[in-house]
């Protein structure tokens, strides 16, 4: 019998510092599992208070209320979409006649910003909505993407949940920004998906989903249509990547069964988030779909990212500062440990027990 001898220098991915490559962006993340044991003496956040009001007279997103610009919201009963009163981009097409310098370049950008109220109920974030209500949100996303994609190159659906993620209004809502040019992250993802396809004649995200299902260690939620996984290269402590298991390049192309299954997946993973630290779990999430400038769809696969900041509890968050700003992202608990924690919590919301 051969006796295996392990030296003090033997590497363990679960215990020792290492870097992991994100194949979607070609960027690396530093993983430092041993740091999760360190004591915490830094800043602690106040967990977001959960509103018990179904209607708030002072909320500019509630049905029937007046917004800042004086426009009255309709008495909506489901989702409600309007152009952002403080849009980040303007719809007017402008031409710059400035003389460019290689170090001082700019481009006028045209687009629109919209707000989507998920529900008329001021107190209910996505995991607290019923499955039909969440599916209405999915259908609203799809309709908006289909409409805006006829005019703009990139349609970014996203949600910032919680004050700690910069959300200025607790009413359940998300946003859609559409622009006539591809933003930086879209360009990076497109380049890397295309590069993988050219090398392997396979879709990167479908290959990745198949591999994660086989391994199982980072899978948090799975059904016949969708996979929710803590990605191997995750930066944020409880980051999630959501991938449809059948080829599809954008939200408006989802089948009825895929939309229904997506509502179920969202309900489960977001409930797991809330149950993890018994709080309304903050995050930023967003969908990535193929640019509407492109016709070749082989290399693209629709997917969503969830970036939550909480690290150890409802009051301790991960800060992307110092090394992260100057060098590269860094995380303490491994993606495998994060997935195990998320799998271990219930899909029945703690407030409903």
The enclosing domain of 329 has a CATH number of 3.30.428.10
pLDDT at residue 165, rounded to an integer: 83
Residue 185, pLDDT > 60, answer yes
pLDDT at residue 207, rounded to an integer: 98
User: Secondary structure of the chain: what % helix, strand, coil (to 5)?
Assistant: 30, 20, 50
- Asked whether residue 88 is domain-assigned, the answer is no
Residue 152, pLDDT > 80, answer yes
Residue 132, pLDDT > 90, answer yes
pLDDT at residue 249, rounded to an integer: 96
The residue assigned the tokens 């490559």 is 21
Nearest to 173 by CA among 185, 163, 158: 158
Residue 45, pLDDT > 60, answer no
Answering whether pTM is above 0.85, one says yes
171 is catalytic: no
- Asked whether residue 7 is domain-assigned, the answer is no
- Asked whether residue 219 is domain-assigned, the answer is yes
The residue assigned the tokens 């899978």 is 219
Range of the domain at 262: 183-352
Nearest to 124 by CA among 58, 79, 71: 79
Residue 42, pLDDT > 60, answer no
Q: In this predicted model, what pLDDT tens digit does every residue of 255-276 receive, in sequence order? A: 999 999 999 999 999 999 999 9
Residue 136, pLDDT > 70, answer yes
- H/E element, 272: helix 256-277
- Asked whether residue 250 is domain-assigned, the answer is yes
Total structural domains in the chain?
A: 1
- Asked whether residue 255 is domain-assigned, the answer is yes
Banded pLDDT at 40 (limits 50, 70, 90): very low
- Asked whether residue 291 is domain-assigned, the answer is yes
Banded pLDDT at 98 (limits 50, 70, 90): confident
Q: In this predicted model, what pLDDT tens digit does every residue of 271-319 receive, in sequence order? A: 999 999 999 999 999 999 999 987 888 999 999 999 999 998 888 889 8
* Catalytic site residue from 122, 171, 173, 288: 173
- Asked whether residue 10 is domain-assigned, the answer is no
pLDDT at residue 1, rounded to an integer: 47
Residue 4, pLDDT > 60, answer no
- Asked whether residue 42 is domain-assigned, the answer is no
Chain Cα centroid distance, residue 231: 12
Banded pLDDT at 352 (limits 50, 70, 90): confident
């Amino acid at each position: 019998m051969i006796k295996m001898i392990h030296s003090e220098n033997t590497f363990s991915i679960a215990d020792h510092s290492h870097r992991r490559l994100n194949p979607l962006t070609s960027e690396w993340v530093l993983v430092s599992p041993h740091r999760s044991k360190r004591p915490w003496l830094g800043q602690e956040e106040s967990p977001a208070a959960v509103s018990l009001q179904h209607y708030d007279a002072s909320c500019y997103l509630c049905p029937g209320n007046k917004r800042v610009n004086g426009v009255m919201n309709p008495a909506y009963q489901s989702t409600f979409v309007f152009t952002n009163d403080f849009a980040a981009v303007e719809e007017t097409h402008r031409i710059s006649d400035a003389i460019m310098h290689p170090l001082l370049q700019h481009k006028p950008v045209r687009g629109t910003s919209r707000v989507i109220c998920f529900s008329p109920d001021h107190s209910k974030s996505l995991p607290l909505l019923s499955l039909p209500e969440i599916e209405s949100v999915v259908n609203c996303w799809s309709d908006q993407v289909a409409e805006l994609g006829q005019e703009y190159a990139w349609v970014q659906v996203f949600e910032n949940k919680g004050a700690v993620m910069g959300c200025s209004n607790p009413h359940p809502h998300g946003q859609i920004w559409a622009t006539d040019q591809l933003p930086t992250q879209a360009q990076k993802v497109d380049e890397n998906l295309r590069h993988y396809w050219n090398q392997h004649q396979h879709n990167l995200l479908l290959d990745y989903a198949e591999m994660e299902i086989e391994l199982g260690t980072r899978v948090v939620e799975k059904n016949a249509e969708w996979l929710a996984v803590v990605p191997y290269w995750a930066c944020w402590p409880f980051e999630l990547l959501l991938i449809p298991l059948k080829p599809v390049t954008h939200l408006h192309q989802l089948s009825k069964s895929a939309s229904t299954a997506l509502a179920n997946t969202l309900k489960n993973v977001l409930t797991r988030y809330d149950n993890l630290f018994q709080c309304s779990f903050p995050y930023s999430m967003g969908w990535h779909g193929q640019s509407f400038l492109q016709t070749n769809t082989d290399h693209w696969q629709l997917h969503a990212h969830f970036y939550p900041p909480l690290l150890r509890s409802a009051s301790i968050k991960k800060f992307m500062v110092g090394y992260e700003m100057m060098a590269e992202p860094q995380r303490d608990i491994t993606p495998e440990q994060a997935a195990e924690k998320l799998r271990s919590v219930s899909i029945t919301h703690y407030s409903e027990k």
